[in-house]
């Protein structure tokens, strides 16, 4: 497994990480024992970068990771996030970056994870009610207290990143990035590189859409959030399916899968980007890891850029409430 630097932290992480969200929520029913087996397999196969958040399953995902981490903590670069607040029954309560909440959220995550220190602690979404200087100031206090090693931001504005970085070095920025979500090209991708931060790409497979596995939402489980995602609806779905069919043709010519091309495109295009595809199954885990060995020429990258030009992708990447939380 190739490795990439995690910003200027001095940490080296596997060229792809593992996003753990789907093991607890958002993509239909899951099996904890199967997820634990996949987590263990990921580590055995060379992945050392694992990503969770306190809101995934209302803390359940962090508890799942705590089981995996026992006896393995020193082999793992552990990232979690805070800021999207949920109630005891999973209800969404908004966003908070208030200093007191920063401290209490961290303590709660440490307890659920069963660890003394979090390697990378992200603000999941920026709280527009709290100056970023105040939020990051409180996060800096966690570093000084030894509870957190490095800081990150997720889905923030470029100007917010620059302001935050003045308070304390930002080691990583996490944003959605894939062939069909290229909002951050020329913006956050460049800004993160400028300050020496890694760019961690979540949903690099377009929530499995780029794999060709989702032909219709009719086949998705009840409660799967893609059932309400605009890109999976009506005419948008029809238009986006054409892109995926073209991607499948491209992959077939290379003798690999669509998922592998989607990951290879990211890895070959940007050397400070670390994609974190999520999966609950070892089969797909192995497929994703194999993508790190695929080399794409400049002409092939340009062809994929053209095929997935942003104006060819139909629908916003979230419903209105989700879009409203981005870019603060």
Q: Which residues are the active-site residues?
A: 56
Cα angle, residue 202 at apex, residues 240 and 261 outer, rounded to 5°:
55
Query: d(Cα 305, Cα 222) in Å, to the nearest integer?
Result: 34
Give the SS3 label for residue 60.
helix
Please state the separation of Cα 216 from the chain's center in Å. Answer: 24
Is 15 in contact with 292 (CB distance < 8 Å)? yes
Query: What's 297-322 look like in SS3?
Result: CHHHHHHHHHHCCHHHCCCCCCCHHH
User: Residue 178 corresponds to which tokens in the numbers above?
Assistant: 């894939």
Query: d(Cα 218, Cα 73) in Å, to the nearest integer?
Result: 40
Give the SS3 label for residue 273.
strand
Q: Is beta strand 92-95 parallel, antiparallel or unpaired with respect to 84-86?
A: antiparallel
If we measure between CA atoms, which residue out of 294, 292, 198, 296 comes closest to residue 1?
Answer: 292
């Amino acid at each position: 497994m190739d490795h990439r630097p995690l910003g200027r932290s001095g940490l080296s992480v596997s060229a792809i990480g593992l996003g753990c969200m789907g093991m607890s929520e958002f993509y239909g029913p899951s099996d904890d024992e199967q997820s634990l087996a996949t987590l263990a397999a990921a580590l055995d196969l060379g992945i050392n970068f694992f990503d969770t958040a306190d809101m995934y399953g209302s803390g359940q995902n962090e508890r799942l990771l705590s089981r995996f981490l026992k006896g393995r903590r020193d082999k793992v670069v552990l990232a979690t996030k805070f800021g999207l607040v949920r109630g005891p029954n999973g209800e969404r309560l908004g966003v908070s970056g208030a200093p007191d909440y920063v401290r209490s959220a961290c303590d709660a995550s440490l307890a659920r994870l069963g660890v003394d220190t979090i390697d990378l602690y992200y603000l999941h979404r920026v709280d527009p009610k709290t100056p970023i200087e105040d939020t990051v100031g409180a996060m800096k206090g966690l570093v000084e207290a030894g509870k957190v090693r490095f800081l990150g931001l997720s889905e923030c504005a470029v100007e917010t990143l620059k302001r935050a970085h003045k308070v304390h070095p930002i080691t990583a920025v996490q944003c959605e990035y894939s062939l069909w979500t290229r909002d951050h090209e020329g913006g956050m991708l460049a800004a993160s590189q400028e300050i020496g931060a890694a760019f961690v790409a979540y949903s690099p497979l377009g929530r499995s859409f780029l794999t060709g596995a989702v032909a219709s939402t009719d086949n998705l489980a009840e409660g799967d959030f893609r059932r309400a995602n605009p890109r999976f609806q009506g005419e948008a779905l029809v238009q986006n399916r054409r892109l995926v069919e073209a991607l499948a043709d491209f992959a077939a010519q290379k003798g690999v899968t669509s998922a592998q091309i989607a990951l290879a495109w990211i890895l070959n295009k940007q050397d400070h980007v670390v994609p974190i595809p999520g999966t609950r199954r070892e089969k797909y885990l192995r497929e994703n890891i194999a993508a790190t060995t695929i080399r794409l020429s400049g002409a092939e990258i340009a062809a994929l850029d053209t095929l997935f030009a942003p104006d060819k992708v139909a629908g916003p990447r979230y419903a209105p409430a989700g879009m409203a939380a981005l870019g603060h």
